[in-house]
Structure 1
Amino acid sequence: MGTWISTWSTDPADAALPALLCLPPAGAGCQQFRSWQPALTGTAQVYGVQLPGRENRWREPMPDTFGEAVAATAEELAATVAADRPLIVFGHSFGGLLGYELSRLVRPRALVVSGCRAPGFWDGAGRGIVDDAEELDKLFDTAGVDPALLDEATRDLMVAMLRKDARLSLSYVHRPGDRLDVPVHAWGADGDETVSSEELDGWAAVTTAGFARHRTTGGHHAVLRRPEPVLEHLAGLLRGEGAPLTPAP
């Protein structure tokens, strides 16, 4: 069995630094965050969450429910990152939703999400990817991928991963309960047609510790394609620097 938490740091001294935990979007693995480690040298040790069914865990079965995935990640995180170590959780798209539910269990210093609708807007999300080929093609468009340029094996692999995560998202039911007591930062892109301003603003309702909206340009995956602005923002949070926050409603 593979591990749920990966890191790319080779310097033992990094274990004394704050931790940045990154959760990838649907259909993707955490190796895309490998390049973030050198960009944050001396500031943080970068970790990635690796769900089954992708990259080095391709042959492992997905958990049956969203809650099982969150619980397994939280358990391994507790064994990997000391409880008194500063932690920032970052999640993109579907990874943001996982990051939110994880933050309800582990209480990071801050939760940062990008291209992710607030939890109350997630019920039923992913159904089109599972059932509708046209909706799946729209998702390729959103990601900037032309399916016609992919060989059949690569496209089938991407489709299989996307559908696994879409099915997992269908098991998600938002149960508001107690609000987070950590700041929440939501990044959105002007060209993102999949997440509306209302859905981003909804994150303000999940916390009592303040909320901030951040914008960039580009499509749904703009933050991952041009990560410099969000990396600068994350570096500030990891150093304990404050950022303007809107008081919780």
Structure 2
Amino acid sequence: MSSTWIRRLRPSGPGTAQVLCFPYAGGTANGYSGLAHAFTPDVEVFAVQYPGRQDRLREAPAQNFQQIIEHVLEELPSHCDPEKPLALFGHSMGALLAFETARWLQQTQTPFAPRHLFLSGRASPSLGRRPSDFLRSDAALVAELRRLEGADRQVLDDPEMLELIMPSVRADYRLLMQYIWDQGTLRDCPFTVLVGEEDPVVMVGEADQWRTLTTGVTRTVPFSGGHFYLNQQFQQVAKVMLSALSATLDGTSDPGQVAAGRAEP
């Protein structure tokens, strides 16, 4: 089946696990290609492609998180195997979408209820939403992208490229400004929280507060780097994720444990 919302980045043979990735604001499914290829062959990796970018450039951007979640839930059975455990990964805005999608999957008691949640580059929504004026102008939004190093400098310096990417970036930041946590949590779902130690917008302690949103085991893993530490450390991130998945699937995680440790190079 040709998918609009879910893209397969790494097929597997008789694999043991599946990972569905949610991009950051302005990001694309292809942005996870490096992470997908860092996994061992027994992990099948998918990513969500939001409308309004790349091959979906002519489509209207999503109006709210719910629209994205509903389409992902609709397509999930066509791509993922209900007999294989599913994990969700999200970076920045994608972490919120992964969390909310996991809640829906758990509430509906589908066979796709995630066995593990990987939340990257995002403070826990339980801390509230920071006031922001990024949307007052494109100049302010571009300045924020430069600060986070979330786009290639050549793209940000090229007016024609900016004209192509700014509608989706603007739309995604609007989604972030609309999002309000409704105090919902997850039951018995392990969380691995990943964060850059030099992230200018997410402190390690703020990321660690995700642990309050699940009754499952949580671990917070700091990496060297800033908000987009991920782009330079696909191998290390995949190693942490594989270790966490193995512990979850083997049933070796202690549900009462909250651990923190720095990722080893």
| TM-score grouping bracket, smaller chain normalisation | 0.7 to 0.9
Match of 1:61 in 2: 60
Give 5+ residue unaligned stretches, structure 2.
Answer: 106-112, 259-265
Q: Is the 8 A contact 2:189 2:217 kept in 1?
A: yes
Match of 2:88 in 1: 89
Q: Is the 8 A contact 2:217 2:253 kept in 1?
A: no
Q: Does 1:175 align with 2:182?
A: yes
Question: Amino acid of the residue matched to residue 215 of structure 2?
Answer: T
What is the CA-CA distance between 1:147 and the residue it aligns to? 6.5
Q: Is the 8 A contact 1:43 1:238 kept in 2?
A: no
The 2-side partners of 1:111 and 1:53 are apart by 26
Q: Does 1:128 align with 2:133?
A: yes
Q: Does 1:189 align with 2:175?
A: no
Deviation per residue, 1:35-77 (Å, 9 max, x gap) = 3333324220110011111111111112222112112112211
The 1-side partners of 2:68 and 2:229 are apart by 26
Pair 1:20–1:80, CA change in 2 (3 A):
same
Question: Amino acid of the residue matched to residue 19 of structure 2?
Answer: L
Identity across matched positions, percent: 27
Match of 2:263 in 1: none
Match of 2:257 in 1: 247
Return the match for 1:115 from 113, 121, 137. 121
Partner-residue secondary structure (3-state), 1:113: strand
Match of 2:209 in 1: 202
The 1-side partners of 2:58 and 2:187 are apart by 35
Match of 1:34 in 2: 33
Give 5+ residue unaligned stretches, structure 1.
Answer: none
Q: Does 1:6 align with 2:13?
A: no
Partner-residue secondary structure (3-state), 2:133: helix
What is the CA-CA distance between 1:166 and the residue it aligns to? 0.6
Question: Amino acid of the residue matched to residue 125 of structure 2?
Answer: P
Deviation per residue, 1:2-27 (Å, 9 max, x gap) = 6110003456x25x441111111110
Question: Amino acid of the residue matched to residue 55 of structure 2?
Answer: N
Question: Amino acid of the residue matched to residue 4 of structure 2?
Answer: T
Q: Is the 8 A contact 1:117 1:199 kept in 2?
A: yes
Q: How many residue pairs end up in the alignment?
A: 245
Question: Amino acid of the residue matched to residue 114 of structure 1?
Answer: S
Q: Is the 8 A contact 2:198 2:227 kept in 1?
A: yes
Question: Amino acid of the residue matched to residue 196 of structure 1?
Answer: M
Match of 2:143 in 1: 137
TM-score under structure 1 length normalisation: 0.87
TM-score under structure 2 length normalisation: 0.82
Q: Is the 8 A contact 2:62 2:171 kept in 1?
A: no
Return the match for 2:221 from 214, 220, 223. 214
What is the CA-CA distance between 1:80 and the residue it aligns to? 1.9
Partner-residue secondary structure (3-state), 1:88: strand
Question: Amino acid of the residue matched to residue 130 of structure 1?
Answer: L
Q: CA RMSD in A?
A: 2.5
The 2-side partners of 1:27 and 1:37 are apart by 19
Partner-residue secondary structure (3-state), 1:39: coil
The 2-side partners of 1:201 and 1:149 are apart by 32
Question: Amino acid of the residue matched to residue 42 of structure 1?
Answer: P
Return the match for 1:236 from 220, 235, 243. 243
Q: Is the 8 A contact 1:185 1:214 kept in 2?
A: yes
Question: Amino acid of the residue matched to residue 48 of structure 2?
Answer: V
Q: Is the 8 A contact 2:204 2:222 kept in 1?
A: no
Partner-residue secondary structure (3-state), 1:105: helix
Pair 1:129–1:38, CA change in 2 (3 A):
same
What is the CA-CA distance between 1:112 and the residue it aligns to? 0.6
